[in-house]
């Protein structure tokens, strides 16, 4: 299969089973997350059904989704406008080292530039020098900021104030 046999486009709800499989593969490789098909499906569904929140771009052949990137939209007071939080950059393990990751990442960056976003922020595994090198080759640099999180387990459905 060659890169010309692929295309990148927004994901659809019909892509859900393949997107969940990609996320299970991704979260199996990361220390901070554990795969949970129900959570992955619910998160994907919320993004796909509410395009103002973000966009999931997929790299596909005629037969399957072989890669994805999740672009979440927010507003930065530091930048004075819209920014992207990029998550879930993954190419199926059988299709790695063929230029697909670069193709997907370049498309995501172009997508953000064309739509007037002012910054893309991503998190990559601290222990994965290979991942860090990949993003650095595409112009991403390290920040002085470090991520911190507070995770709420089973907090129930959201309520309005």
Instruction: Say if 151 falls within a structural domain.
Output: no
What is the pLDDT confidence band of residue 5, given thresholds at 50, 70 and 90? confident
For the chain, how many structural domains are there in total?
1
Instruction: Indicate if the alpha-carbon torsion angle 87, 68, 70, 99 is positive or negative.
Output: positive
pLDDT digits (tens, 9 = 90+) for 85-144: 999 999 998 888 899 999 999 999 999 999 999 999 998 766 677 788 888 898 888 888
What is the pLDDT confidence band of residue 2, given thresholds at 50, 70 and 90? very low
**Average predicted confidence (pLDDT) for the chain:** 88
Instruction: Say if 123 falls within a structural domain.
Output: yes
Residue 3 has pLDDT above 60, yes or no: no
Q: Determine the longest span between alpha carbons in the chain, in angstroms.
A: 52
For range 20-48, the mean pLDDT: 88
Residue 157 has pLDDT above 70, yes or no: no
Q: Which domain does 76 fall in, by range?
A: 3-137
List Cα–Cα distances, 119 to 71, 78, 83, in angstroms.
12, 10, 5
Percent pLDDT > 90 in the chain is 60
Q: Which residues contact 106 (CB under 8 A, 6 or more apart)?
A: 138
CATH of the domain at 106: 3.40.630.30
Instruction: Say if 15 falls within a structural domain.
Output: yes
Strand partners, 133: none
For range 19-44, the mean pLDDT: 87
Instruction: Say if 144 falls within a structural domain.
Output: no
List Cα–Cα distances, 30 to 7, 88, 90, 94, 161, in angstroms.
27, 11, 12, 18, 35
Q: Residue 67: exposed, middle, or buried by beta-carbon count in 10 A (0-12, 13-18, 19+)?
A: buried
Instruction: Say if 149 falls within a structural domain.
Output: no
Instruction: Say if 150 falls within a structural domain.
Output: no
Instruction: Say if 160 falls within a structural domain.
Output: no
* DSSP class of 121: E
| pLDDT top residue among 149 and 50 | 50
For range 37-41, the mean pLDDT: 92
Instruction: Say if 147 falls within a structural domain.
Output: no
């Amino acid at each position: 299969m060659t890169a010309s046999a692929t295309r990148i486009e927004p994901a659809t709800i019909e892509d859900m089973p393949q997107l969940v499989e990609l996320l299970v593969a991704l979260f199996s490789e990361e220390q901070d997350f554990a795969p949970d098909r129900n959570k992955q499906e619910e998160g994907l569904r919320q993004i796909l059904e509410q395009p103002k929140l973000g966009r999931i771009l997929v790299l596909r052949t005629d037969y399957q989704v072989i890669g994805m990137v999740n672009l979440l939209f927010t507003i930065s007071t530091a930048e004075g406008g819209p920014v992207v939080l990029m998550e879930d950059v993954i190419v199926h393990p059988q299709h790695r080292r063929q230029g697909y990751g670069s193709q997907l990442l370049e498309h995501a960056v172009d997508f953000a530039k064309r739509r007037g976003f002012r910054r893309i922020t991503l998190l990559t595994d601290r222990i994965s020098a290979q991942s860090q090198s990949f993003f650095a080759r595409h112009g991403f640099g390290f920040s002085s900021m470090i991520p911190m999180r507070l995770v709420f387990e089973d907090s129930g459905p959201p309520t309005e104030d």
